[in-house]
Amino acid sequence: MDALASSPLGWLCAGVSTLAGVIMLCTAQRSPQDKAKVLLWSLLSALLGLLCVAPLGAGGGLGAFVAVCLVCSVCLADRELLPVGDRAVFITGSDTGIGHALAKYLDSLGFVVFAGVLNKDGPGAEELRRTCSQRLCVLQLDITNATQVKEAYLKVSEKVQNAGLWGVVNNAGILGFPADGELLPMSIYRHCMEVNFFGAVEVSKTFLPLLRKSQGRLVNISSMAGGIPLPMYAAYGASKAALSMFSGVMRQELSKWGIKVAAIHPSGFRTGIQGTSEQWDKQEKELLENLPADTRQTYGEEYFLGLRKYLLDMPSHCAPDLSPVLDAVLHALLARRPQGLYTPGKGAYIPFCIFCYFPLWFYDFFISKMLSAGPVPRKLRTSRDEGRNL
Q: Domain containing 274 — which CATH number?
A: 3.40.50.720
pLDDT at 33: 45
**386 domain residue, yes or no:** no
CA angle 309-368-378, nearest 5°?
Answer: 50
72 and 96 housed in the same domain: no
Report d(CA 293, CA 280) in Å as an integer: 21
127 and 39 housed in the same domain: no
Neighbouring residues of 197: CB distance < 8 A, sequence distance ≥ 6? 239, 240, 242, 243, 246
Q: Measuring CA to CA, how many Å separate 220 from each of 31, 83, 124, 258, 274?
A: 26, 22, 21, 17, 19
248 and 292 housed in the same domain: yes
pLDDT at 196: 97
**387 domain residue, yes or no:** no
Reported pTM: 0.77
102 and 46 housed in the same domain: no
Residue 30 sits in which domain range?
2-77
Active-site residues: which are they? 236
pLDDT at 336: 93
68 and 193 housed in the same domain: no
SS3 57: helix
Question: Which of 77, 112, 141 is a domain's end point?
Answer: 77
73 and 93 housed in the same domain: no
C-alpha dihedral, 306 to 310 to 311 to 312, nearest 10° = 90
Report d(CA 382, CA 286) in Å as an integer: 27
**276 domain residue, yes or no:** yes
**82 domain residue, yes or no:** no
Kindly give the pairing relationship between strand 112-117 and strand 88-91. parallel
171 and 211 housed in the same domain: yes
pLDDT at 199: 97
pLDDT digits (tens, 9 = 90+) for 33-86: 444 555 566 566 666 655 655 565 555 555 555 555 555 554 554 568 899 999
pLDDT at 20: 57
Low-confidence stretches of the chain (pLDDT beneath 70): 1-79, 270-272, 274-277, 279-280, 314-318, 372-374, 383-390
pLDDT at 35: 47
* Positions of E strands within 142-212: 167-170
pLDDT at 259: 98
pLDDT at 4: 46
pLDDT digits (tens, 9 = 90+) for 318-365: 677 889 999 999 999 999 999 999 998 877 778 888 888 999 999 999
**357 domain residue, yes or no:** yes
193 and 69 housed in the same domain: no
294 and 366 housed in the same domain: yes
**42 domain residue, yes or no:** yes
Report d(CA 325, CA 323) in Å as an integer: 5
Q: Which helix (H) or strand (E) holds 64?
A: helix 53-77
Radius of gyration (C-alpha) of the chain in whole angstroms: 25
* 245 φ, ψ (degrees, to nearest 5): -65, -40
56 and 10 housed in the same domain: yes
232 and 360 housed in the same domain: yes
Report d(CA 188, CA 293) in Å as an integer: 20
